[in-house]
Chains A and B, each alone.
Chain A
Amino acid sequence: MDRRTLLKTCSVVAIEMMVNPSIFNKLLAQEKELYKAYKKTMLVKENGQPFSTSDIQPNTALLFFYPYASTPCYLINTGSEIKPSKIKLNNGKEYEFKGGIGKNKSIVAYSAICPHQWAYPNKDFSLINYYPPTEKSQATGRSGVIQCCAHMSVYDINNGGQVLEGPAEYPLAAIELIEENDIIYATGVIGPDQFGEFFDMYKSDLIAQYGNIRKAKEIPDKTIVMEVGKYAKEQIKC
């Protein structure tokens, strides 16, 4: 790029930023990895057929793995619109949460790895769960949230996974979803993810479950969406 073109580009960008500050924020976010694009992975049903927004009922959470074969996520239909919002971290950095997809913009997805101390749904039990609006937590009295019953962190799924209460210092990472021809795809991760820590902390468990770490870190083209109870023997709520 020559100097003149560079200056032209910069001035164009500068004007755009004045008009739409979210561009600047996104740039910042990308720099700091508060947004990361991963493979465009198709969500599918257990029978292999594409998963559409009408396949998840309101007040439900289902489990799928993204972006890696071993990193669990919750697909949630809250039944009501989830608007985009700006998420601010304790260090002052910000990023955009894109809100819900689907007819009512009520479908979102989040990583199911607790950003506090990495509890996650495993085959034996899940301590981090979705509490639909119809089901209040006995301990916190909250509903319509994701709550972790290890150390009592509660995340606002209507607001980009921000911490509502408890010891977590970071929000729950959101999964970027898109709809194409009525099929849901996961395309990226929004917010600070915990994948590095997950692979580190659970190395021996993952080797035991998947045979080797490479398999656990595979990035599939398709991912099955299933009932949480079909994966984890016990959903521990509190």
Chain B
Amino acid sequence: MPKNKLNVSRRDFLVGTAALSASTLINFQTSAYAKEERPNLASKKARVVIIGGGYGGISAAISLRKHNKDVDILLIEKNEFFVSCPMSNLYIGDIMEYSKLCYPYNNLTVKHNTKVLHEEVDNVDLDKKVIYTNKSKIEYDFLVLSPGIDYDIKEGQKEMLLYYPPAFKPGGEHLYLKKLLSEFEGGDIVMTVPSYPYRCPPAPYERAALVLNYLKRRNLKAKLYFIDENERPIINSEGFMNAYYELYKGYAEYITGATIKDIDYMKKVIKTSNGEFKFDIANIIPPMKASSLIEKIGLLEKGQKWVEVDTFTFETKVPNVFVIGDSARSFLPKSGFGANMQGKAVANIINERLTGKKYKQEELLMVVCYSMVSDKEAVMSETSFKLNLETKTVTPIHREDNIRKEVNVKRYYEWAKGLWREMFG
């Protein structure tokens, strides 16, 4: 079992701060940890806590509740409402309104009898099975973590995220990136793609296509330097490349297999193994890693970016603690759709443990993916993974439709709406 590292918590800090007046100390302690959060149920009821209200966490909660009416389910999500990263490139490309990406969490409670806490997790004591948030202390029997990713960049570079937000995490980043684009009047744009794996394989390529489409629609004199640390698009390579050459010739330069050496975001220069590029605005997509919470609670091996989990059950080395979604190292590409499937799989496993009722474990997990390459056409791909639990093997089957077409856009919208219906309907 990994050693639980309880870093210096607010409690420790307070106890050590003798300089504070007695009354102030008392106030801090009362507001921080005195309140013990236990939903209004018998203490004998089993409790499943889900950390992260994204595609994985919500799907796990709803699926578990479908199978089990009794278990106490609690979801902790720091944001007050959900914003989808899937489809957000359409907002960046000025095709979709931001509000269409936004959903409230209410129905998790209203329809699915799942308690939602809008608090931030400070730490988890894996031995005692207790979660500490900025407001509460929560005990659990089963824990599902689906906290997403963090950008893997040095402390000193973090300010760059404010100047040129990557927009790969929900929140204000997409809003600011859109603002940069809408105020752009021509010149040079730099986009960077980190070495795979990162969250959502087609996303940077879809974004490049839609940014180019947007520049073209605005009739701007602009050049996009698309700097990719990978040799070619990770997925739908043919579809993206055809679109870049056929639709956006003259607007972009695709620099592949380039290593990014230095980014001076104040001087607006990026140094790579394939040359130096000046920019007026940029979308720097940094390398990614599991949410820093995972490392903080001691689930991340030293030097690793993603959490090791059981291939088939997504359970960590700690019994009844599961990690799903983009934080986990998995055969499933990092994606909202993948996390949605993992959430359902984990819900089945937990329910089996809760009730003792055997269920037929998934033999198939898959990811379906659509990418717009212009404001009217999209390509798509799907990767299915056939699981053989006896031989402990995973067999991938990959299919792509690289012919850009209008009809794929309709499928894309239905793909997203289906997910959102299930999660928030």
- Where the two chains meet, the residues of A that have a C-beta atom closer than 8 Å to any C-beta of B are 90-92, 116-119, 125, 127, 138-140, 149-152, 165-167, 169, 197, 200-201, 234, 236, 238
Residue in contact with B418 in the complex, picked from A92, A150, A165, A238, CB distance below 8 Å = A150
Would you call A197 and B425 a contact (CB within 8 A)? yes
Task: Let me know if B10 is at the binding interface, CB within 8 A.
Answer: no
Would you call A117 and B344 a contact (CB within 8 A)? no
Query: B105 to nearest A CB, angstroms?
Result: 17
Task: Let me know if B360 is at the binding interface, CB within 8 A.
Answer: yes
Known: A127-B410, A200-B425, A236-B407. Contact between A151 and B368, CB under 8 A? yes
Taken together as a complex, chains A and B put the C-alpha atoms of A127 and B401 apart, in Å, by 16
Would you call A150 and B411 a contact (CB within 8 A)? yes
Taken together as a complex, chains A and B put the C-alpha atoms of A138 and B403 apart, in Å, by 12
User: Chain B residues with Cβ under 8 A from A152's Cβ?
Assistant: 366, 368, 382
Taken together as a complex, chains A and B put the C-alpha atoms of A152 and B364 apart, in Å, by 13
Taken together as a complex, chains A and B put the C-alpha atoms of A90 and B359 apart, in Å, by 6
Would you call B360 and A92 a contact (CB within 8 A)? yes
- Where the two chains meet, the residues of B that have a C-beta atom closer than 8 Å to any C-beta of A are 67, 337, 341, 344, 348, 357-360, 364, 366, 368, 382, 384, 399, 401, 407, 410-411, 414-415, 418-419, 421-422, 425
Would you call B341 and A167 a contact (CB within 8 A)? yes
29 contacting pairs across A/B (C-beta < 8 A): A90-B359, A90-B360, A91-B357, A91-B360, A92-B357, A92-B358, A92-B359, A117-B418, A117-B419, A117-B422, A118-B418, A119-B418, A125-B410, A127-B410, A139-B399, A139-B401, A150-B411, A150-B414, A150-B415, A151-B415, A165-B364, A166-B364, A167-B366, A169-B344, A201-B421, A201-B425, A236-B407, A236-B410, A236-B411
Taken together as a complex, chains A and B put the C-alpha atoms of A91 and B359 apart, in Å, by 5
Residue of chain A at shortest CB distance from B107 = A200
Output the residue of A91, A117, A140, A201 with the most chain B CB within 10 A.
A117
Chain A binding site: helix, strand, loop or mixed by DSSP? loop
User: Chain B residues with Cβ under 8 A from A166's Cβ?
Assistant: 364, 366
User: Chain B residues with Cβ under 8 A from A167's Cβ?
Assistant: 341, 364, 366, 368
Taken together as a complex, chains A and B put the C-alpha atoms of A236 and B380 apart, in Å, by 14
Query: B319 to nearest A CB, angstroms?
Result: 24
Given pairs A92-B360, A127-B410, 9 additional interface contacts (CB within 8 A)? A91-B67, A117-B422, A118-B422, A139-B401, A140-B399, A165-B364, A167-B341, A167-B366, A234-B407
User: Chain A residues with Cβ under 8 A from B337's Cβ?
Assistant: 151
Would you call B422 and A127 a contact (CB within 8 A)? no
User: Chain A residues with Cβ under 8 A from B382's Cβ?
Assistant: 139, 152
Taken together as a complex, chains A and B put the C-alpha atoms of A197 and B357 apart, in Å, by 25
User: Chain A residues with Cβ under 8 A from B67's Cβ?
Assistant: 91
Residue of chain A at shortest CB distance from B419 = A117
Taken together as a complex, chains A and B put the C-alpha atoms of A50 and B323 apart, in Å, by 57
Residue of chain A at shortest CB distance from B386 = A165
Would you call A127 and B414 a contact (CB within 8 A)? yes
Taken together as a complex, chains A and B put the C-alpha atoms of A200 and B399 apart, in Å, by 33
Taken together as a complex, chains A and B put the C-alpha atoms of A222 and B321 apart, in Å, by 54
Residue of chain A at shortest CB distance from B360 = A90
User: Chain B residues with Cβ under 8 A from A234's Cβ?
Assistant: 407, 410
User: Chain B residues with Cβ under 8 A from A90's Cβ?
Assistant: 348, 359-360
User: Chain A residues with Cβ under 8 A from B411's Cβ?
Assistant: 127, 149-150, 236, 238
User: Chain A residues with Cβ under 8 A from B419's Cβ?
Assistant: 117
User: Chain B residues with Cβ under 8 A from A150's Cβ?
Assistant: 411, 414-415, 418
Query: A70 to nearest B CB, angstroms?
Result: 16
Taken together as a complex, chains A and B put the C-alpha atoms of A151 and B368 apart, in Å, by 6
Taken together as a complex, chains A and B put the C-alpha atoms of A147 and B358 apart, in Å, by 29
Known: A150-B411, A197-B425, A238-B401. Contact between A116 and B418, CB under 8 A? yes
Taken together as a complex, chains A and B put the C-alpha atoms of A234 and B410 apart, in Å, by 11
Would you call A165 and B384 a contact (CB within 8 A)? yes
Query: A94 to nearest B CB, angstroms?
Result: 12
Query: B251 to nearest A CB, angstroms?
Result: 30
